[in-house]
Chain A
Amino acid sequence: MAKTTDIANVLEVAPASVTQMLHKLCRQGYVKHEPYRGTILSRRGRRIARRIARKHRLLERFLSDMIGIEPEDGHDQACRMEHALSNEAEEALCKMMNHPATCPNGKRIPKCERGIPCEDCTRKALKLSDVDEGRTATISHLVSKDKDELCRTLAMGLVPGATVTVEKKMPLGGPIIVNLKGTRVAIARSIGDALRMVEAA
């Protein structure tokens, strides 16, 4: 239950404006208002709030991890960006960062509403051998368990975000020949299986 005055304080607006807006939201079914006790989000309202919080925290994660923005700055910017982010972009962001569980301040990131467990979503990312010859795909992440092999793969330039075009898959379980920024690289199938790919649309 949130009191009208508390909301007014956080948003730094007049209590009268809050009351007016709450009435409107109440009419549209997003909040429930109980006189003298306060306001609470309806089921519909909670869904939207969860979605916004999810977008907000994913954005914070992105700003801090991928481009190194300070957490406070990241929070302020995420507050503005969260409303502009499409659902599609939200989903891609979540996949790209490999389904982060918390925001940089440690708050839980709500799960998406697609109703499938994250593991399945991860598995949906293609392995290199699933990418057809002639197709281009981007590495989303690597799942190698062997540290030396992981480092070898990374040092070759097969890093998250790198784009490769599959040129040829050699028969008899032979390597996959890809074009990585103009360099041909022969990648054994098992190393290719450690690369999770997202195909370009």
Chain B
Amino acid sequence: MEIFLAGTPNVGKSVIFSKLTGIGVISANYPGTTVEFSEGEVKFGQMTIDVVDLPGTYSLSGNSDEERVATNLLFHRRPDSVVLVADATRLERSLVLAFELIESGYNVVVALNMYDLAVKSGLKIDISALEESLMTSVVPTVAVRGEGVDSLLREAIRLRPKSAFRVRYDSHTEEIISELVSMMETSEWDFPIRAVAVRILMGDRAVREKAGRQITEAADSLAMDFERRHQESIESHIQRDRFGEAGRIAAEIISPIDSAERGRKTVSDITLNPITGIPILVAVLATVFLILVFGGGFIETLLVDSYEGVAEGFFDDAKSGASPLVQGVLDGVYISIEAMLAIVIPYILVFYLILSVLEDTGYLVRVVSLLDGIMHRMGLHGRAVIPMVVGYGCNIPALLATRTMGSKRERIILAVLITIAIPCSAQTAIIIGALGNYSGAEWALLIFAILILLLGLLGFALHKTIRFEASQLLLEVPELRRPTLSQTLRKTGIRIGEFLTIAFPLLLVGSIILEVMMAEGILQRLVDPAEPFMTGVLGLPAVAVIALVFGILRKEMALQMLIVLFGTSDLSVALDAQQMFVFALVMAIFMPCIAALAVLVREFGVKDAAAITAASIALALTFGAVANLVL
């Protein structure tokens, strides 16, 4: 048995999914958090039920990349039942999607989520009247606390006749629908034929493809005739009638009436007013930077000192009398753990904590609105801000999040900017953890300034070379919410967990190999050929090339490898401030890590991925060389 969770963006589908399956999925207070679907299982008695969490979509005929993920799955996999997760405080919008799902013949159960918020704001929702209108079950839920989720599951797997509810469109539209219906064979479709006709008229690509040219051409000429006679498109009429119906139902089942008026008012929001919003944005960014530098540095010292105090003696004991090979392995293990403590825990953890708070408050969407005008000058719209900010954590989710952009070209511009000019948390760890810590915060700030300048220039240059119209921002701005401690910790936990399980084994193996190679004297022979370039052009010690190469596996490994190579976590002994600066700058721009590269290939194809990689290596080395010359 298979259940889909569908709904408009930012209604809490992923939270319900987590509660049902126990699988941790990242959720946040902005539309478009989920761009890929997650799948999980839940046991109910003897049954095993597959649950799929779909990305949010406003309509079944949406044609943007992110919406297509949801609509394609719904189109091809025909789930046994679809749970429409609705926002109880903004019911009308969700109802429209419910109409579409019911019209398309899915077995729909409605989860009236955030029911507590609706009750708190004084709304009374007549649930049985809603069930009667929609001719299906409606279950109030409070997903964040898990309330109602069990009964929701019970309702979703219960056998029931499909809802016979249909929106009636205006007479001319209905006429066109019946004309199309009479032209098609019911047996060829898994959907009610009426829905097929409507979706063809709405421009649904999957349905049109299946319907064939004859039908779509007939539909188009009918639609054109409609438009000629009404001077208005048939899509407008269809959606207008759906929203009209939703409004009618909402007015009938929600009381008191004046609450509708109350719902219309939104609290004035200083983060959305440019005069106050821009200074707030600057303050937020500065705070994030300061917390990263000082908070991260403080935790690092604490961890490294206590680790050295505890473990150094232990490892020294183990090493004494062992063969050089075993000593190499032990050194590798010792240093890997130290590198983890020095970098991952302090900077990456702190960054993810901050990101989680920014996401859950809904503040990021304010930033999107504030910066949309500026982003347009880079050929992007404001939504690009979110993948960018996510990219400061890790490039992989950021590259996936580029799907929220409208067109392929926008996605590519954004992908280039993310891989080249946005340092991920590992690169930030290098910039702040090494450079900021040993050479001073002003050096780290200088790198961030260079990167932001590069971001602007690169964006502007790409916008000028790849000529096209950027697609336009149209985004719901969620209310600001207070982030909860448990959610923040849970999310940070998931992210750090993913990070550790991938990064630590790689780091461990890498360090052991390196130590062994050093012990056996192989390393020097590999490093020598790179020396003229590394020392001559970049002014770095030749061994740094190893760090650069390992940085391809994972970015933070570059720094960890430096620690391994020099045998100390106090890098100021081995590199002076200028060298550290050059190294950090090269690493910040340098090619994406292997995992990000894989995502690039998958999302954009080999050619574009190779081009982005080549560009990033060339830019990184050029910047490094210039920095070496200037300093």
Contact = CB atoms under 8 A, between A and B. Distances in A.
A148 B171 CA distance: 25
A190 B474 contact: no
Interface of A: 64-71, 97-102, 104, 141-142, 147-157, 159-162, 165, 167-168, 170-175, 177, 179, 181-188, 190-191
A100 B170 CA distance: 15
A152 to B, nearest CB: 6
23 contacts: A64-B170, A66-B170, A68-B174, A70-B171, A98-B231, A148-B64, A149-B471, A151-B63, A153-B474, A155-B62, A155-B96, A155-B239, A157-B93, A157-B96, A162-B243, A165-B264, A174-B370, A181-B264, A182-B89, A182-B90, A182-B265, A183-B93, A191-B473
Interface in B74-117: 89-90, 92-93, 96
Given A64-B171, A170-B372, A179 B473 contact: no
Given A65-B171, A182-B265, A187-B473, A168 B272 contact: yes
A159 B59 contact: no
Given A70-B171, A177-B272, A182-B264, A149 B472 contact: yes
A170 B58 CA distance: 25
Contact of B170 (A68, A155, A172, A190): A68
A101 B225 CA distance: 13
A20 to B, nearest CB: 41
Interface pairs A-B: 10 shortest CB-CB? A172-B373, A174-B373, A188-B472, A155-B59, A184-B477, A154-B239, A155-B58, A182-B263, A188-B473, A159-B240
Nearest to A149: B472
B231 A100 contact: yes
B372 A186 contact: yes
Interface stretch (B33-41, B184-192, B309-317, B374-382): B374-382
A175 B235 contact: no
**Which interface residue of A151, A153, A181 has the most chain B CB atoms within 10 A?**
A151
Contact of A151 (B171, B235, B263): B235
A188 B203 CA distance: 23
B373 A173 contact: yes
A97 B63 CA distance: 28
B171 A152 contact: no
Contact of A99 (B168, B231, B244, B474): B231
Contacts of B464: none
A168 B235 CA distance: 29
Interface string B356-370: 000000000100111
Contacts of A174: 274, 369-374, 382
**Which interface residue of A69, A155, A181, A188 has the most chain B CB atoms within 10 A?**
A155
Contacts of B90: 181-183
B525 interface: no
A170 B231 contact: no
A186 B369 contact: yes
A100 B229 contact: yes
Contacts of B96: 155, 157
A187 to B, nearest CB: 6
Given A150-B236, A173-B373, 19 more contacts: A69-B171, A98-B230, A150-B233, A151-B239, A153-B474, A156-B58, A165-B264, A170-B370, A174-B371, A175-B473, A181-B93, A182-B263, A182-B265, A183-B90, A184-B478, A186-B369, A186-B382, A186-B473, A188-B474
Nearest to B375: A174
Interface in B216-241: 229-233, 235-237, 239-240
B465 interface: no
A175 B437 CA distance: 40
Contacts of B478: 184
Interface in B44-90: 58-59, 61-64, 89-90
Contact of B172 (A64, A99, A188): A64
**Which interface residue of B168, B202, B232, B370 has the most chain A CB atoms within 10 A?**
B232
A185 B63 contact: no
Contacts of A191: 472-474
Contact of B235 (A64, A65, A154, A156): A154
Nearest to A169: B274
Contact of A160 (B203, B240, B371): B240
B266 interface: yes
A186 B371 CA distance: 12
B476 interface: yes
A99 B488 CA distance: 54
B373 A171 contact: yes
Contacts of B301: none
A88 B621 CA distance: 71
B230 A154 contact: no
